[in-house]
A and B are shown apart, each in its own frame.
Chain A
Amino acid sequence: MSRVETVPVTAAGPGAVAGPRPQTVPGFLALFRSELTLTFRRARTLALLGVLAVVPILIGVVVKIETGNMHGGDGGPAFITQVTQNGVFLTFTALATSLPIFLPMTVGVVAGDSVAGEAATGTLRYLLVAPAGRSRLLAAKFTAAMAFCLAATLAVAVSGLLIGSILFPVGDVTLLSGDTIGLGAALLRVVLISGVVALSLAGLAAVGLFISTLTGSGIAAMASTVGLVIIVQVLDSFPQLHAIQPWLLTHYWLSFGDLLRQPMYWHAVWQDLGLQALYVAVFGSAAWARFTTRDITA
């Protein structure tokens, strides 16, 4: 019905006092800044990051207590056998463990709630009053979601490094290929892997944002996003669906492990990032198509 961001425009000449002010860079970025602050000042966001930081602590403590029984690689999460020898591996174990469930869950909450949550609490229309346009608001929402992806990954990685270095010895790191690299080079790879993991979540953030523009209920959007990740991962586990699996959002997620080889094996990582870019393009534009033409009633 009403398009709330529409403000009355006078036929403003160049010298008119009323009407849009000239665009400035800080002015353009103001919306992004306010979205970022809004996201990271919410108690919920901090709680989610806290939960993510607990994952490595949990794994670390369990491995520490059960060290006597853990030898031999009795299944269990990836790299678990290496953790006792080198705390740095706790980071990789924690990332591999949280990537299928915890990380997408938190990203789904933040991305799914980004627009739908505003609509549910009735703040969306006020947000649209700002003379920024819906496209820019959507871009700001996506930026905030991506910032959260990075923060979430770093929460796991940094907490893993800290706990790993407290509980276990830290030193030269044995790569998957059996080669050994120094601690400095290993930390560089931690940074690289964190970046790749954060970017791997971009597609999900875009999907979450799109779902968020479809509904006025934050909970519905969050639940659908998280549910979608679970469904996709289930589909990814059926060998019969071999043909479509390279197109599933989560298919290449664990490819970050390829960066722990010597030399690094980038093939699957590029496939992952390419797929994420495709998802961002398709679902980002779908969200834009929906959000810029939708009636905001709440």
Chain B
Amino acid sequence: MTTKYAGFEEPEPAGGDEPIGVPYRGRRRTAARVLVPVAIAAVAAAGVAVVPALASPGTPTLPQVTAQQLVTKVLANRTTALSGTVQVSTDLGIPSQVLDMASQGAVAGVTGAAGAAGGSGQAKEGAANAASAGPQAKLTTLLAGDHTLRVAADGPDKQRVALVEPLAEYDLIHNGDQAWAWDSASNQAVHLSDGTGGAAAKDAKEQPKTPLDGVPTTPQQAAQQFLAGSASSSDVSVAGTVSVAGRDAYQLSVKPKQSGSTIREVKIAVDSATGTPLAVVATSTSGSTVLDVHFSDVSFAVPSASTFDFTPPKGATVVQPAQQRKWDNGIQPQPEASKAGSKVTGTDWTAVVSFTLPTQSGSTQTGSTQTGSTQTGGGKAASGHHRKQALPDSTTLIKSLGKPVAGGTLISTKVINVLITDDNHVYAGAVTLPVLQAAAGVK
């Protein structure tokens, strides 16, 4: 840009960086300066792409081990004290509404008391109802999406798992014979076990652990449960090394020997120093990652004792579940938790869980899927009433999501296939349809 006024072509005195006498070329300078933000954005983008790759050296060099040694190391691992942050990412391909209803349905079917466990900590009706802070509903949320857990453990008697939520937190604290669940959103504390009283005392050894059992919340638990259960029917090999949470780890690859499973491979990263599993990644036969549990930071120092202290805060609602057994049954959100009606056929990778859908009163409501969908967002005073009627609806709704196959309705997700036969038997597992049909006796 040039101006007609000679005086204005002089450089600015305070800008200072232009040599005197050089004509002012606005357009060129604009172009040069526009490059600055562009360059910053480019550098930032490149940095984000490159720095993590540089920061985590993909394959640390470690001495060779055999798969056998590694499995032994994992199972023999007696790391008792650790604390850290666990990232859980689950992508089973299950619609969240179904997940909501399935968990409520399973819980209600077991306890026989409809209205248990408000989906998101909102139910607050009768004392007979399980509190919204009950573990099962919360742990069901782990089955979909990304979550952050903060875990701490010190020996078999002290554990704490905190589910980090936006502006809220859900904690499970186990300390000796005390077990608490704390839900900050609803300001409720559930006393899962106090080690006193008749029924509770009988199970005192077992009971305090229940909130943390069933659903593995640390890679350690997940891997140990998994390896102990299925090592015999799997091809186990060492697949190189990785770096997890800044620690060098061996990668253990576990593949099913049998055909018919929808899981292709489970990779377990095992800390080279302690043998603690640091990450578990499951891949489906379609190639997508369905489960990724890994420590994003971990410390094997003993957490401070106060971590495991929990006293219900002043003003919080303390719920003492009337039936301790409720928790025992309700923990596992998957239908196999219902010990009463479910049975497992097949072994290991091709295990199929079968049970009969609960048929309850209120079937006149069947077909009104509207009720089912409104109750997921529920939370009004009447929601307990609605939940009672929602069970048959959810059955219908779940069925409507499937596609008809020989012998019933198939609901297919990335890993789990569910076959609902025409006479309301449910067969579910991480297996292909023919395996389900064989289990159901179709054809």
Task: Please report A residues at the B interface, Cβ cutoff 8 Å.
Answer: 1-3, 5-9, 19-20, 71-75, 78-79, 81-82, 84-86, 96, 131-136, 171-172, 174, 176-180, 254, 257-258, 261, 265, 267, 278, 281-283, 285-286, 288-290, 292-293, 295
Task: Please report B residues at the A interface, Cβ cutoff 8 Å.
Answer: 1, 3, 5, 7-8, 10-16, 20, 24, 26, 29-30, 33-37, 40-41, 44, 85, 121-122, 124, 148, 150, 162, 164, 166-169, 171, 173, 180, 182, 184-187, 189, 296, 310-316, 379-380
Q: Please state if A6 and B26 are interface contacts (CB–CB under 8 Å).
A: no
Roughly how many angstroms separate A25 CA and B162 CA in the complex, as a whole number?
A: 51
Closest 5 CB pairs of A and B: A85-B315, A72-B124, A289-B33, A174-B313, A286-B37
Collect the chain B residues with CB atoms within 8 Å of residue A283's CB: 37
Roughly how many angstroms separate A2 CA and B11 CA in the complex, as a whole number?
A: 12
Collect the chain A residues with CB atoms within 8 Å of residue B166's CB: 254, 257
Contact partner of A132 (CB less than 8 A), chosen from B14, B24, B30, is B14
Q: Please state if A5 and B5 are interface contacts (CB–CB under 8 Å).
A: no
Collect the chain A residues with CB atoms within 8 Å of residue B168's CB: 78, 176, 257
Collect the chain B residues with CB atoms within 8 Å of residue A134's CB: 15
Q: Please state if B12 and A133 are interface contacts (CB–CB under 8 Å).
A: yes
Collect the chain B residues with CB atoms within 8 Å of residue A74's CB: 122, 379-380
Task: Across the interface, name the chain A residue whose C-beta is closest to B36.
Answer: A285
Roughly how many angstroms separate A1 CA and B7 CA in the complex, as a whole number?
A: 12
Collect the chain A residues with CB atoms within 8 Å of residue B311's CB: 180
A-B contact pairs, 12 of them (CB 8 A): A6-B7, A6-B8, A78-B167, A85-B315, A132-B14, A176-B168, A258-B164, A265-B150, A267-B85, A290-B34, A293-B29, A295-B1
Collect the chain A residues with CB atoms within 8 Å of residue B44's CB: 278, 281-282
Q: Please state if A288 and B36 are interface contacts (CB–CB under 8 Å).
A: yes
Task: Across the interface, name the chain B residue whose C-beta is closest to A239.
Answer: B145
Contact partner of B185 (CB less than 8 A), chosen from A73, A132, A288, is A73
Collect the chain A residues with CB atoms within 8 Å of residue B35's CB: 289
Q: Please state if B30 and A2 are interface contacts (CB–CB under 8 Å).
A: no
Collect the chain A residues with CB atoms within 8 Å of residue B150's CB: 261, 265
Q: Please state if A176 and B169 are interface contacts (CB–CB under 8 Å).
A: yes
Roughly how many angstroms separate A153 CA and B398 CA in the complex, as a whole number?
A: 47
The listed residue with most B CB atoms (<10 A of its CB), out of A72, A281, A283, is A72
Given A73-B186, A78-B167, A288-B36; A172-B314 close (CB under 8 Å): yes
Collect the chain A residues with CB atoms within 8 Å of residue B296's CB: 267
Roughly how many angstroms separate A180 CA and B184 CA in the complex, as a whole number?
A: 12
Q: Please state if B164 and A261 are interface contacts (CB–CB under 8 Å).
A: yes
Q: Please state if B164 and A265 are interface contacts (CB–CB under 8 Å).
A: yes
Collect the chain B residues with CB atoms within 8 Å of residue A288's CB: 33, 36
Collect the chain A residues with CB atoms within 8 Å of residue B173's CB: 178
Q: Please state if B171 and A1 are interface contacts (CB–CB under 8 Å).
A: no
CB distance from A173 to the nearest CB of B (A): 9
Given A72-B122, A174-B316; A2-B41 close (CB under 8 Å): no
Q: Please state if A5 and B3 are interface contacts (CB–CB under 8 Å).
A: no
Q: Please state if B122 and A177 are interface contacts (CB–CB under 8 Å).
A: no
Roughly how many angstroms separate A235 CA and B415 CA in the complex, as a whole number?
A: 30
Contact partner of B34 (CB less than 8 A), chosen from A254, A267, A281, A289, is A289
CB distance from A122 to the nearest CB of B (A): 19
Q: Please state if A293 and B167 are interface contacts (CB–CB under 8 Å).
A: no
Collect the chain B residues with CB atoms within 8 Å of residue A7's CB: 13
Given contacts A8-B7, A73-B187, A176-B184, 20 further A-B contacts (CB under 8 A): A2-B3, A6-B12, A8-B10, A72-B186, A73-B185, A74-B122, A75-B122, A75-B379, A171-B314, A176-B167, A177-B162, A178-B184, A180-B313, A254-B166, A261-B162, A265-B150, A265-B164, A281-B40, A293-B30, A295-B26
Q: Please state if B167 and A254 are interface contacts (CB–CB under 8 Å).
A: yes
Roughly how many angstroms separate A9 CA and B26 CA in the complex, as a whole number?
A: 20
Collect the chain B residues with CB atoms within 8 Å of residue A81's CB: 185-187
CB distance from A232 to the nearest CB of B (A): 16
Roughly how many angstroms separate A295 CA and B24 CA in the complex, as a whole number?
A: 13
Collect the chain B residues with CB atoms within 8 Å of residue A135's CB: 15
CB distance from A29 to the nearest CB of B (A): 15
Q: Please state if A2 and B8 are interface contacts (CB–CB under 8 Å).
A: yes
Collect the chain B residues with CB atoms within 8 Å of residue A20's CB: 13-14
Roughly how many angstroms separate A178 CA and B121 CA in the complex, as a whole number?
A: 16
Task: Across the interface, name the chain B residue whose C-beta is closest to A287.
Answer: B37
Collect the chain A residues with CB atoms within 8 Å of residue B37's CB: 281-283, 285-286, 289
Q: Please state if A282 and B40 are interface contacts (CB–CB under 8 Å).
A: yes
CB distance from A257 to the nearest CB of B (A): 4
Given A177-B184, A180-B313, A278-B44; A5-B12 close (CB under 8 Å): yes
Collect the chain B residues with CB atoms within 8 Å of residue A285's CB: 36-37, 40
Roughly how many angstroms separate A288 CA and B185 CA in the complex, as a whole number?
A: 44
Q: Please state if B310 and A71 are interface contacts (CB–CB under 8 Å).
A: no
Roughly how many angstroms separate A113 CA and B304 CA in the complex, as a whole number?
A: 51
Collect the chain B residues with CB atoms within 8 Å of residue A131's CB: 13-14
CB distance from A145 to the nearest CB of B (A): 18
Q: Please state if A133 and B14 are interface contacts (CB–CB under 8 Å).
A: yes
The listed residue with most A CB atoms (<10 A of its CB), out of B14, B30, B171, is B14
The listed residue with most B CB atoms (<10 A of its CB), out of A73, A96, A174, A267, is A73
Given A131-B14, A282-B44; A292-B310 close (CB under 8 Å): no
Q: Please state if B167 and A257 are interface contacts (CB–CB under 8 Å).
A: yes
Q: Please state if B41 and A282 are interface contacts (CB–CB under 8 Å).
A: yes
Collect the chain A residues with CB atoms within 8 Å of residue B3's CB: 1-2
Roughly how many angstroms separate A178 CA and B13 CA in the complex, as a whole number?
A: 61
Task: Across the interface, name the chain A residue whose C-beta is closest to B377.
Answer: A75
Task: Across the interface, name the chain A residue whose C-beta is closest to B12.
Answer: A6
Given A5-B12, A72-B122; A178-B189 close (CB under 8 Å): yes
Task: Across the interface, name the chain B residue whose C-beta is closest to A275.
Answer: B44
Q: Please state if A3 and B12 are interface contacts (CB–CB under 8 Å).
A: yes
Task: Across the interface, name the chain B residue whose C-beta is closest to A85.
Answer: B315
Given A2-B3, A9-B13, A131-B14; A180-B26 close (CB under 8 Å): no
